[in-house]
Structures are given as C-alpha cells and as structure tokens.
Amino acid sequence: MAATTKREAEKSPGTSQSRLASLIKSARDTMRKDAGMNGDLDRLPQLSWLLFLKAFDGRVEQEGEALDPDGYRRAIEEPYRWEDWATVPDFSGDELKSFVNDKLIPHLAGLVGDDAEDPRNVISTIFKDVVNRMQSGTLLRDLVDIVNQIHFVSADDIHTMAFVYESILKEMRDVAGGSGEFYTPRPVNRFMVQQSFLELGESILDPASGTGGFLVQAYEALKGQVKTDTQRRRLHKDIRGIEKKPLPYLLGSMNLLLHGIDAPHIRRGSALLEMRNSNAADKVDVVLTNPPFGGEEEATVVKAFPDGFRTQETAWLFLYSILDQLKLGGRCAIVLPNGSLFAVGENSIGAKIKKKLMKDCNLHTVVRLPQGVFAPYTQIPSNILFFEKTGPTQEVWFYEVPLPEGRRGYTKTKPMRFEDFESCVDWWGGKQREGREVGEQAWVVPASDIIASGFNLDIANPHLGDDLKHRTPEELVDELVKTEMEILGLLKELRSGLESADE
C-alpha cells in the first residue's frame, strides 16, 4: 500500500460553501446506504472523525512541515498519515475496512505525547472511543473520497468548513436532545461571552464543554487581539474544557480545530471529580458554562463533596465546584433552571450553596430568559447568573429578557436570535455596569432581602403584576410547569437528605 502521489495542499482548489454543503450531503447519502449506520447518531460521528483526520493533516501536519521542513515531526507517521491510505483510489473493500478497524484506529488510540502541548494526546483521547461503524469497505472508500474533496488551504476555507460544521452540530444537538442532552443555543453562548468582557491572557474554562460552543465563542472574541506567536500559543492554552462523554468530546475537539486551535485543551473525564481534585494551579479567571441539570450523579461523585453539600442534583454540584475553581477576582456566567433559583428551605443543600455563592461572590446580575429558549429539548424556564469572586453580594440586579412582539415563546423552527438580547445589552452599563436603572424589564433586590427569604433567587418581575385575568393560558401552564419543577426539586433534596442520613 503506497500513495500514488503526494498531495500539494497549496495547489488544491478552495471549497465554496455551496460546494461544501453538496459534499456533506453526498457523504451522508453514502452513509445511509451502509447497513451499519443507524441514523445521524452514527453517521455524524463517522463523518466527524474522518473530517478531523483530514483537517488535522491539512491544518497542522502540512502547515508544520511547510514552516519547519527539517525540524517538524509529524504526530501521525507512516503508514497512518492521511496521504498514505486515504488518497489511494484502489485501496478499498475489505482491505481498507480491515486497515481502518485493525490498524489505523488502534494506532491513533495508542499515541502518546511528550508533553501537554503535544497534539498526539488529543488524537489518542478522541480515537480511544472511535468505532468505524461502516460495514461496507466499498462505501467507506466512497465516503473517504468525498472527504478528500474538502480542502483546508486558506483561512477562508477553514471559516467555510467551520460554518458548515456548525450546521452539522446543530443537527447533532437536535438528535441528541431527544435522548436527554441539552445544548446551549448560539445566541445564548454569544451573549454570555460578550457580557463577560474577556481579556487576552485570562484562563477560560467550560467544565461541561459539550461540542465547544462557549470555547469557540470565547476564542472568536479574543483572537483579533493577538499580535504575536507567544500570545497566540497562550490563547490556545487558555481556552479550556472538560467533557465527560466521548461523542461531544470528539465533536468539540473538531469544532475547535476548525476554528484554528490546533491542539484543543479539552480533557475527557468527570468535570466534578476533576474540579474537586484540582489544585491552585488549576484555578481559572473565567468560567462560561451550561451544566447538566435535572440529572443525578453517582454516589462516588457525591461523596467527593463535603458533608452538608452532598446532593445528586448535578446543577448544584457544578455551581459549588465552580465557586472553588475560580481565582480570587475571577468571574462566571452560568445557565441554571428556575428550580435552582427557588428557595428550598434554609437548611437545604440548595440554600447552603446559594449562601456560599453570595458570601464568596458578588452575584451582580440574573438574566431571566424567555419561554422556549431551549426548545425543543426542554421547556424548563432558565436563567443566566453572572457573578464575580470579589467579595459578598450587596444587591442583585434582575433583567427579564422580553419576547419579540407578538411571540408567546420560542420554538425549534423560530428560535431565539442574538438581537433579542439587544435591550439587555443596552441596559447593562458596560464592563463596569454603570448607570443601570429600574424599569419594566429590570429590578434590583438587596442581598438582605434574599437572605431573609432563605436565599430564594426566583424573584418575579414586580412590574408585571400577577393578575390572572390578564395572563394567557400558555403563561398559566408555564407557571404550573415551573411549580411542578420546584416541587420535584424539593423531593430530590428530601431524598438526598434521607440517603445521607442512612450512610
């Protein structure tokens, strides 16, 4: 087996957006013919790991050799380089399938890097969980040939591929949403990053990084400030994630690679355990995240937390861990459901964690999101909490983002837009939050009132009133859903307390 020619990336034509979309469609049509592929949960990961190898070859390996012909050492060596097997037209059928299954994937999964910056560590982490699900070596050859027509020869090509890849991720999120995975809509990512006022040189972590939405937005917000190679390398290192599940890890690594980070700093593992076992050197300046909520953690994770703060509710454990993970002066933007804001008793775990939050940090803003922002995954009302580890909270500002005129909620076909945050951005008052005013959508509550309420942060907009005659049936149903979620939270707290008492 040998490559017929050595590809010259600089001579390859670019790939337009329409051409790329056509190739992706052809790739998915090819995979649909294969008996081993069962829906997009199989097809999209299959396409992603092939795209990863093609992009890595073009973005990292070939560029590295061009910049340092004598000193660059490839992360992937013969006969596993893309050009050694993927560009050989007659390497097909069972021979190709056996090579991929028995040699290529095991070799890539066994790579070991010399240091934390070595991209071989990223490759091996990805491919430890990769499985070639295609049963036909001939169709696999067809798929590889299609991927081979995608080129990464310029910044424009990378941008185009990243744009199309994000559309693939959106479809992937739609599929995963049905199995309990909720992903953050891009407008919410962008708003949270923008209102965090990131600065070059800050370490930025998403401990539930998923497909990399927050990390990509953070990188895009900061890369224009880079002036030197040293700053670029530092920025790549400062964009950090932790992801527990193999599929989001693969998709997130690919997403960062396509956006220009050659060796993504995403770790595979339990973020809760990693944050509990971290040291001072692991603390970060900024956390941007939408942690899982409504789930239950296993006993080994719960036991890693101190007495009095042990609960199976994932969102509470993430919030507690983030408080410890932030440096002094650090800040966080985090999505939490209404149930987490609701007061569940002065001695409940939720109240204790909110007490710690308001004692250690300045919880300066709670942005209440409209109905349906996370549709179709969940209708649970959600909020974004912004806080800084700069001392106790004195007052909390609330801002209720209004729905567009004539809308009762967001849906899958009519999702939220970034422009819908415009009124909140105008009100915000810049980095120093100057000139904020109480208004129809904004109100402020003294910390003393929140403490007296048992740390209830689920505070309704006082300007809207609660006249049932003027509320729509949809609003009444939403209120019932909210109440049921709060009751469910109380029951979970009660069960956690009983389980802790039995230990």
Q: Mean of the pLDDT values across residues 267-278?
A: 92
From 87, 94, 89, 62, select the one nearest 76 (Cα to Cα). 62
Answer yes or no: is pLDDT of 215 > 90. yes
- Same domain for 169 and 199, yes or no, is no
462 in any annotated domain: yes
Q: Please say which residue of 173, 199, 227 terminates a domain.
A: 173
Answer yes or no: is pLDDT of 4 > 70. no
Least confident of 86-95, 133-142, 454-463: 454-463
Res 166: pLDDT: 66
Res 468: pLDDT: 44
Q: How confident is the model at residue 456 (pLDDT cuts 50, 70, 90)?
A: very high
Least confident of 14-18, 196-200, 361-365: 14-18
pTM of this structure = 0.81
- Same domain for 168 and 184, yes or no, is no
307 in any annotated domain: yes
- Same domain for 338 and 286, yes or no, is yes
- Same domain for 184 and 167, yes or no, is no
69 in any annotated domain: yes
Q: Please say which residue of 173, 192, 208 terminates a domain.
A: 173
4 in any annotated domain: no
CATH number at residue 436: 3.40.50.150
Residue 2: other Cβ atoms inside 10 A: 10
- Same domain for 233 and 125, yes or no, is no
221 in any annotated domain: yes
From 90, 58, 91, 86, select the one nearest 145 (Cα to Cα). 86
Answer yes or no: is pLDDT of 262 > 70. yes
- Same domain for 320 and 432, yes or no, is yes
- Same domain for 468 and 437, yes or no, is yes
- Same domain for 333 and 189, yes or no, is yes
Q: Mean of the pLDDT values across residues 2-14?
A: 43
* CA distances in angstroms from 123 to 91, 248, 372, listed in the order given: 24, 14, 37
Q: Mean of the pLDDT values across residues 200-205?
A: 98
Least confident of 11-20, 120-129, 358-367, 419-428: 11-20
Helix axes 186-194, 213-222, angle to 10 degrees: 40
Q: How confident is the model at residue 369 (pLDDT cuts 50, 70, 90)?
A: very high
Least confident of 39-53, 453-467, 480-494: 480-494
CATH number at residue 154: 1.20.1260.30
Q: Which domain holds residue 257?
A: 180-502
Least confident of 94-103, 126-135, 443-452, 459-468: 459-468
Least confident of 52-56, 95-99, 149-153: 149-153
Q: What is the DSSP string of 236-287?
A: HHHEEEEE-SHHHHHHHHHHHHHTT-SS-EEEES-HHHHHHT--GGG-EEEE
- Same domain for 168 and 185, yes or no, is no
Amino acid at 281: A
Q: How far is Cα 273 from Cα 424, in angstroms, rounded to an integer?
A: 35
Q: How confident is the model at residue 13 (pLDDT cuts 50, 70, 90)?
A: low
Top-ranked range on mean pLDDT: pick from 170-174, 372-376, 438-442: 438-442
Q: Mean of the pLDDT values across residues 67-86?
A: 91
- Output b/e per residue, 426-449; b: 16+ Cβ within 10 A: ebbeeeeeeeeeeeebbbebebee
Q: How far is Cα 44 from Cα 303, in angstroms, rounded to an integer?
A: 36
Q: What percentage of residues in the chain have a pLDDT greater than 70?
A: 81
Residues 131-179 pLDDT 10s: 999 999 999 999 999 999 987 665 566 666 666 666 666 665 555 544 4
Domain count, the chain: 2
- Same domain for 126 and 190, yes or no, is no
357 in any annotated domain: yes
Q: Mean of the pLDDT values across residues 224-234?
A: 94
Residues 294-321 pLDDT 10s: 667 788 899 999 988 988 888 899 999 9
Answer yes or no: is pLDDT of 203 > 50. yes
Sign of CA dihedral 71, 258, 87, 44: positive
Q: Please say which residue of 173, 188, 210 terminates a domain.
A: 173
Q: Which two tokens stand for residue 39?
A: 């829906």
Res 502: pLDDT: 58
- Same domain for 157 and 299, yes or no, is no
- Same domain for 160 and 192, yes or no, is no
Residue 444 bridge partners (DSSP): 397
Helix (H, G, I), strand (E, B) or coil at 390: coil
Place of tokens 């998709």: 251
Backbone angles phi, psi at 389, to 5 degrees: -85, 70
Do residues 194 and 278 make contact, with C-beta atoms less than 8 angstroms apart? no
Report the mean per-residue pLDDT for the chain: 85
7 in any annotated domain: no
Q: How confident is the model at residue 9 (pLDDT cuts 50, 70, 90)?
A: very low
Q: Is the peptide bond before 292 cis (omega within 30 degrees of 0)?
A: no
Least confident of 145-149, 358-362, 413-417: 413-417
- Pick the more confident residue, 28 or 178: 28
- Pick the more confident residue, 241 or 183: 241
Helix (H, G, I), strand (E, B) or coil at 35: coil
Res 254: pLDDT: 80
From 338, 351, 358, 299, select the one nearest 493 (Cα to Cα). 351
